[in-house]
C-alpha cells in the first residue's frame, strides 16, 4: 500500500508542473527527442532534460536510444493508476450530487395542501 501511495505521490508531483503536463501532451503524438520536446518552450535543453527525469522517475515516460537520438515515450500505466485513484472520488461526488439534486427537486416540488391548512378559521 505504501509503495502505491509513493508511486501516486510521484505521479501527482510530476503532473503538478504545467511544462511536464505539456510534455506529456506532446508525447501523445509519438516518441520525440529532447530537442523536439524543447522546441516550443522558452527553456534550455538541460532544463527540459530535468523535467524528463522527473516524468521518468514517476513512471509516466520511458526513454530509449535510437542511434544517436534519445527518444521519450509516453507510458500510460502511471496515468491509469492516477485516473483509477481519482475515479473513486468521482463516484463519491457523483453520488453526493445525485442526493443533492433529489433534495432540491423535492424542495421545489409544490406540496399538496393538507385539509387542516385549507381553512384557517377551522
- Residue 111: inside a domain, yes or no? no
Total domains in the chain come to: 1
- Residue 117: inside a domain, yes or no? no
Which of these, 83, 81, 37, 89, lies nearest to 63 by C-alpha position?
37
- Residue 65: inside a domain, yes or no? yes
The CATH number of the domain holding residue 68 is 1.10.10.10
> Are residues 50 and 31 in contact, defined by beta-carbon separation less than 8 angstroms?
no
56 vs 6, which has greater pLDDT?
56
pLDDT digits (tens, 9 = 90+) for 43-95: 999 999 999 999 999 999 999 998 888 999 999 888 888 898 889 888 888 88
- Residue 28: inside a domain, yes or no? yes
- Residue 22: inside a domain, yes or no? yes
- Residue 19: inside a domain, yes or no? yes
For 19, the domain range is 2-77
Amino acid at each position: 500500500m505504501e509503495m502505491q501511495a509513493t508511486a501516486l505521490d510521484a505521479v501527482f508531483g510530476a503532473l503538478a508542473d504545467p511544462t511536464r503536463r505539456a510534455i506529456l501532451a506532446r508525447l501523445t503524438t509519438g516518441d520525440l527527442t529532447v530537442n523536439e520536446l524543447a522546441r516550443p518552450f522558452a527553456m534550455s535543453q538541460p532544463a527540459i532534460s530535468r523535467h524528463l527525469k522527473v516524468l521518468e522517475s514517476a513512471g509516466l515516460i520511458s526513454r530509449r536510444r535510437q542511434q544517436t537520438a534519445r527518444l521519450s515515450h509516453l507510458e500510460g500505466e502511471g496515468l491509469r493508476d492516477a485516473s483509477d485513484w481519482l475515479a473513486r472520488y468521482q463516484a463519491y461526488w457523483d453520488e453526493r450530487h445525485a442526493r443533492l439534486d433529489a433534495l432540491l427537486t423535492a424542495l421545489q416540488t409544490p406540496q399538496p395542501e393538507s385539509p387542516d391548512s385549507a381553512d384557517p378559521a377551522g
